[in-house]
């Protein structure tokens, strides 16, 4: 089946640091990748939709200059949390689908747990 | 607006059957998905329904009624490892996935 790899799994860093998270589709080409954030005991929140070769579409309330997304190839999208602060601590999860058609599920990476001290 | 409703939490006994309901109101419909998410982990895909009826996959089955905007996930022969959150999600007319808040299922021995 479709496999999505996300790296790193855990990040602990000081306030003000920028953190880059990678999301790769290992055995399929992903025209579209999605970035989610999930706070403890809360539901998934879509942050942005990343399309290969074009600018990401951000959800309302998500700062595009704070969360930089690059989707340079059909198998790789990156999310950079710039100048991270403690309130950015969360579980970040990427997903990818093989196409936009109805029956294509999103396959998720294992997530990145980000802790900003 | 777009809305997906599912119960916040359910409790069931090991070996029993449980049905998790999901109702939706979305702008268009291009399929309904069920995902399982264990605590601290990412969601994993369980099932997909786009036509009315029941889709069976081992111990898990998913049902859809488009006219009622309703789906359920049926879990049989419950095991302790089935303790997780179950997320219902619908693709709207723009193929955007709208997520429910999830149902936390607690399995007791």
Whether A52 and A73 have beta carbons less than 8 Å apart is answered as yes
Which residues of chain A have a CB within 8 Å of the CB of B50?
102-103
pLDDT tier, A102 (very low <50, low <70, confident <90, very high otherwise): low
Whether A33 and A47 have beta carbons less than 8 Å apart is answered as no
Total residue length of chain B: 109
Q: What is the dihedral of CA A68, A13, A3, A62, to 10 degrees?
A: -30
The first and second tokens of residue B79, run together, are 């095991």
| pLDDT value of residue B7 | 97
| pLDDT value of residue B21 | 98
Which residues of chain B have a CB within 8 Å of the CB of A46?
97, 99
Check CB contact under 8 Å for B87 and A43: yes
pLDDT higher for A101 or B34? Answer: B34
pLDDT tier, A58 (very low <50, low <70, confident <90, very high otherwise): very high
| pLDDT value of residue A101 | 63
Strand partners, A94: A35
Residues A14-24: what's their mean pLDDT? 96
Q: Which residue's entry shows tokens 């689908």? A: A97
The first and second tokens of residue B76, run together, are 């049989």
Query: Would you say residue A100 has pLDDT above 70?
Result: no
The pair phi, psi for residue B51, each rounded to 5°, is -110, 155
**Of A20-24, A98-102, B24-28, B96-100, which gets the smallest average pLDDT?**
A98-102
The separation between CA B37 and the C-alpha centre of its own chain, rounded to angstroms, equals 11
Strand partners, B98: B90
What mean pLDDT, rounded, does chain B reach? 95
Strand partners, B108: B13
Check CB contact under 8 Å for B41 and A44: no
A32–B contact, CB cutoff 8 A? no
Check CB contact under 8 Å for A110 and B41: yes
**Alpha-carbon gap, residue A70 to B78, rounded angstroms:** 42
Residues from B contacting A (CB-CB < 8 Å) are 30-31, 33, 40-45, 48, 50, 87, 91, 95-97, 99-102
The pair phi, psi for residue B94, each rounded to 5°, is -95, 10
| DSSP output for A86-100 | GGG-EEEEEEEES-S
Most confident residue range from A26-30, A105-109, B20-24: B20-24
């Amino acid at each position: 089946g479709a496999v999505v790899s996300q790296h790193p799994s855990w990040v602990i860093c000081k306030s003000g640091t920028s953190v880059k998270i990678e999301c790769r589709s290992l055995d399929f080409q992903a025209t579209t990748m999605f970035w989610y954030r999930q706070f403890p005991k809360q539901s998934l929140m879509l942050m942005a939709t990343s399309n290969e070769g074009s600018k990401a579409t951000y959800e309302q309330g998500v700062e595009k200059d704070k969360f930089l997304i690059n989707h340079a190839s059909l198998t790789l999208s990156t999310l950079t949390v710039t100048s991270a602060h403690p309130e950015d601590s969360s579980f970040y999860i990427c997903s990818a689908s093989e196409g936009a058609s109805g029956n294509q599920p999103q396959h998720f990476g294992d997530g990145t747990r980000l802790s900003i001290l | 607006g777009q809305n997906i409703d599912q119960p916040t939490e359910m409790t069931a006994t090991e070996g029993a059957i449980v049905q998790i309901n999901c109702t939706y109101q979305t702008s268009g419909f291009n399929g309904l998905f069920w995902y399982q998410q264990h605590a601290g982990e990412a969601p994993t895909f369980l099932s997909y329904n786009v036509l009315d009826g029941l889709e069976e996959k081992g111990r898990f089955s998913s049902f859809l009624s488009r006219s009622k905007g309703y789906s359920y996930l049926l879990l049989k022969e419950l095991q302790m490892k089935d303790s997780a959150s179950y997320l219902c999600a619908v693709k709207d007319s723009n193929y955007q996935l709208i997520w429910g808040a999830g149902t936390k299922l607690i399995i007791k021995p």
